[in-house]
Chain A
Amino acid sequence: MNSPVLTELPLITLVGPPNSGKTTLFNYLSGKKFKTVNYPGSTVEYSTAKILSKYNLQADLLDSPGIISLNPGSPDEEVSVSSLYNHPKLGSPDLVIVTVDASQITRHLFLAKQLVMSGFKMIIAVTMVDLLHRRNLTVSSKKLSEELGCDVVLIDGRTGKGINDIIDLIKNNIESLSSDGRILPTRTFSDSDKNELLGIYHELEGIENKVLEPLNKKSGDVNLEKANAKLIVLNPTIKEAINKPDEITLRIDKFLLHRIWGLFFFFLIMAATFTSIFWIADPFMGYVDDFFALLAESASEFLGDGWVSNFVADGVITGTGAVLVFLPQILMLFLILGLLEDTGYLARGAMLIDRPLSKIGLNGKSFVPMLSGFACAIPAMMAARTIANRKERLLTIFIIPLMSCSARLPVYALLIAFLIPGDKPWIGGLILATIYIFSIVSSLIAAAIINKYNKSLLKAKDDSSFILELPAYRVPKPLIVIRNSFESAKQYITHAGPVILVFSIVLWFLTYFPNHSPEIPDAQLMDKTELAESITAERLSSSYASILGKVIEPVMTPIGMDWRVGVSLIATFAAREVFVSSMALIFKVTADEESLQSSILTSMRSAKNDKTGELLFTPATIIGLIVFFIFALQCISTLAVSRKETGSWRIPFLQVTLFTVLAYLFTFITVNGLRFLGLP
C-alpha cells in the first residue's frame, strides 16, 4: 500500500526489546523539542523529539516502550504494538529503527524478524558489540543485512561510534521514501501459534551461525580462505560462547544473587539508597526553602500592607515553594533509581523480592514502584506500568499511598521535635526509622487483606507471571540518567504543581476572608509586631476556615484534637507538608529571632483546647497525629494520578475512603489507648 506524496515530516520510530540500548540510541539522535507524550486514553508513554539539528535531517523521532515481540503480553504492550502500526496522533512510521543487542542476537532478532515479516521499512541497529567482543566474537553487519534484507549498522552506545553511519542510512531511506512513497505494514502477529514462533527461532539460529565471527585482531594478516576454514571449525565454539552469559555478570551474581546473602545485599543496597536520597537532598531542600522564604518576605515588603501583598507572599510564592521544595529529593530518587537500573541491579532486586511479594498478591516488579513511593506517590504510580498483570498492578497502585512519601517528612520532623528533648536528637532518628518500618509493614498487611477481597475490590483477572531478563551488569551512563531524571522531575512538577498551587491559594483565601482587615481595640497601645499578630489571629478566628473547622469539630474531639488541627488536616489535602505552614498560620507564629520550627513548637506547647481548657498537644495527641499521617491519603494529586492510572474513579475513591477510615480509627485507638495507659 503506497500513499502518493509525503506531506509532513517523516516519522522515525525506535523499537526494541527491553535493555537493548534503545533509549541510549534515542538520546544520541534526539535534539530539540524533546517531550514525553501519553498515548491518548492510556498510560503508555512515548518520548518524541526532532533529530539533532547538526545532522541536518528533518524528521520526527519517536521512542516507544520496550517490547519483546509483536504479540503483546500485557495491556500496555498491546497499546505499544498497535501504536507501532498506527499511532493515533503520529500515524504509521515511515521508517523503523530496531535495536538488537549483539550479545544475545537470536533473542533480539526475533522482534526484528517479525518487523521484517510485517513489511516495515527498517534499519537494524546492532548495539553492545563490546559485550560480544568480551567473548572474542564479532558480528558481520554485511551478512546480517543480506540475510534479513534490510539495512544494518553497528552502534557503540558508549563512544557514539556508528551514529554517523545510521544518519547516512536514515537519509538514504528517507530519500527513497519520496520516490517510492511510504510503505505500510501488512501483517500482525497476534494470531501466531507455537509452530510459527518455533519456525522463526529456527531460522534465526541459522542466521546467527552465519553472521557471528570470531574476533580476529589481526584480520589483515590472515587470508580469506584460511579465515573461512577457521570459521567453520570454530562454529561449535561460537555456539557455546554465545550461549554463555557475560562472565563478569556471573561472577558478580555469585554474591548479589546468592541464595542467602542475596537478600542481605538487597537490604543493604536499599538502605544505602534511602540514606543517600535524604542525606544528599537535604541541604538543597534547605536552599529552596530559604529562597522562597526570602522571596515571600521581599514581595510583602515591596507590596506593602493589604490583601494583594498577602496574596502574593502567602498564597502564590509560599504555594510555589511548597511544590518546589521537594524537587531535590525527587530528583535524587530518580537519579539513584536510574543509576541502579542502568547497572542492571533493579531487575535482580525484583527477582529477590518476588516470592514474598507474590504471597500477598503483589509481584517482584511491584518493588520499584513501592520504592519510588517513598519519594512521591505520583511517579511511583506511573512506575507501576511495568507490571503486566492487571491485578498486581492495581494492588501496587492501591498500597502506594501507604509508603511514607517525602511530603510527610517535614510533618514528622515537627511532631517528633515536639516529643523529644532537644539534647537527644538520636531518639528522633529512631522514631523516624520506626515510622518508616511501621508504614512498610502496614502497607504489606493492607495488600494481603485487599488481595483476599480482590474480586470485589479490584475486579481484576488474575493470571500472574514473572518473566524478567536480568541484564548484564554495565557501568551506568550518567548523562542519560541525568537527562531522564530531569524529565521525570519535570513531569512531577507539571502533574502535581498546579493542584498544589491552586490549593494553597484556596487555603489562603479561606484563612484570609471574609474579615480581612479586622478592627483591633487598643491598637494604639500595641507595637507593630503585636498589632500584626492580633490582626492575623482575629482574621483567622472569624475566617471561612474557622467556620469550616467548627463544623468538623465534633469529629476531631474524640481523637483529642480541636477545630484548628481539623483545618490543618483539611489543608493537607493540597500537600501534606502544608500541615506545617498551616499550623504556623493558625497558631499565629511570628518568625522573628527563633527558627520557624521552634516558634511553632513554643506556641503548640501552650495551646489549649478551646472547650476543655486542657493542653491541646500532649504526647498522646502528637503520637496520634503521627499515626494519622501514616495512614491518611491526604493528597489530591495522588488521587488524580490514581484515577488516570487505573482508568476510573473507583479505586481512588476506595483508597481515600479506606485510608481515611483507617487513619481515624487508629488515631482514636492510639490517643485514647495512650491516655488509658496514663500518658498525658
Chain B
Amino acid sequence: MKTAASLRFGEKVIISDIDSSNPSFRRLLEVGFTPGQEIQLINTSAFSDPMAFAVRGTLIAIRKNEAECIIVS
C-alpha cells in the first residue's frame, strides 16, 4: 500500500483513500485531501518532515505521519 509519505519530488498521484484511524483525518479531508484528487509532492523540509503537497491549487504542509494516512495509487 503506497502512501503520500513515500512520494518522490514532483511525483503526481491520485488519492485513493484516507485512513480514518489517524485523528487528523477529518482535517486532512477538510483542507482538500479527498479520494480522487490529484496531489504532487513539491517540497520537504530539511528532515523530509513536514512535506508540502500541491493540492487543489495551493500548497499544504503536513507532517510525515499525516502523509502516511493518505493512501495513493
- Chain A interfacial positions (CB closer than 8 Å to B): 68-69, 71, 73, 103-107, 110, 194, 197-198, 201, 242-245, 249-250, 253, 257-260, 262-263, 347, 351-352, 354-356, 358, 364, 463, 465-472
Contact = CB atoms under 8 A, between A and B. Distances in A.
Contact of A465 (B18, B27, B56): B27
Contacts of A469: 31, 58-61
Contacts of B45: 257, 259, 262, 351-352, 354-355
A351 B54 contact: no
B50 A354 contact: yes
Given A262-B46, A463-B23, A194 B29 contact: yes
Q: Which of A104, A245, A472 has the most CB of B within 10 A?
A: A245
Contact of B54 (A106, A194, A197, A243): A243
Contacts of A364: 50
A352 B49 CA distance: 8
Contact of A201 (B34, B38, B61): B34
B28 A467 contact: yes
B59 A253 contact: yes
Contacts of A250: 42
A245 B58 contact: yes
B40 to A, nearest CB: 9
A354 B49 CA distance: 8
Nearest to B30: A69
Contacts of A358: 63
A253 B59 CA distance: 10
B13 interface: no
A355 B49 contact: yes
Contacts of B18: 194
Nearest to A241: B57
Contacts of B62: 466-468
A466 B42 CA distance: 17
Interface in B38-73: 38, 42-47, 49-50, 52, 54-63, 66
B20 interface: yes
Given A71-B30, A197-B30, A354-B50, A104 B63 contact: no
Contacts of B43: 253, 257-259, 262
B46 A352 contact: yes
A468 B60 contact: yes
A197 B32 CA distance: 10
B73 to A, nearest CB: 17
A483 B63 CA distance: 34
B7 to A, nearest CB: 14
A244 B57 contact: yes
B69 to A, nearest CB: 11
Nearest to B23: A463
B57 A107 contact: yes
B26 interface: yes
A567 B25 CA distance: 55
A475 B46 CA distance: 27
A84 B58 CA distance: 27
Contacts of A110: 30, 32
15 contacts: A73-B30, A104-B56, A105-B57, A194-B18, A198-B35, A253-B59, A262-B45, A263-B46, A354-B45, A465-B24, A465-B63, A466-B50, A470-B52, A470-B58, A470-B60
Contact of A194 (B20, B47, B59, B63): B20
A19 to B, nearest CB: 9
A107 B56 contact: yes
Given A68-B30, A103-B57, A262-B46, 6 more contacts: A104-B57, A243-B56, A245-B42, A245-B59, A466-B62, A467-B28
A68 B46 CA distance: 28
- What 10 A-B pairs are tightest by C-beta distance, nearest first? A257-B43, A470-B59, A351-B61, A104-B57, A355-B47, A107-B32, A69-B30, A465-B24, A466-B63, A104-B58
Contacts of A347: 61
A257 B45 CA distance: 7
Contacts of A466: 50, 61-63, 66
A106 B63 contact: no
Given A107-B56, A245-B54, A467 B66 contact: yes
Contacts of B66: 465-467
A230 B1 CA distance: 40
Contacts of B49: 354-355
A467 B58 contact: no
Nearest to A254: B43
B43 to A, nearest CB: 4
Contacts of B27: 68, 73, 465, 467
Nearest to A198: B34
Nearest to B60: A469
A235 to B, nearest CB: 15
Nearest to B20: A194
Q: Which of B29, B30, B34 has the most CB of A within 10 A?
A: B30
Contacts of A243: 38, 54-57
A412 B69 CA distance: 50
Contacts of B52: 253, 257, 351, 470
Q: Which of A71, A107, A356 has the most CB of B within 10 A?
A: A107
Given A262-B46, A352-B46, A107 B31 contact: yes
Contacts of A354: 45, 49-50, 61, 63
A105 B45 CA distance: 27
B36 to A, nearest CB: 8
Q: Which of B27, B55, B56 has the most CB of A within 10 A?
A: B56
Contacts of A465: 23-24, 27, 63, 66
Q: Which of A73, A257, A467, A472 has the most CB of B within 10 A?
A: A467
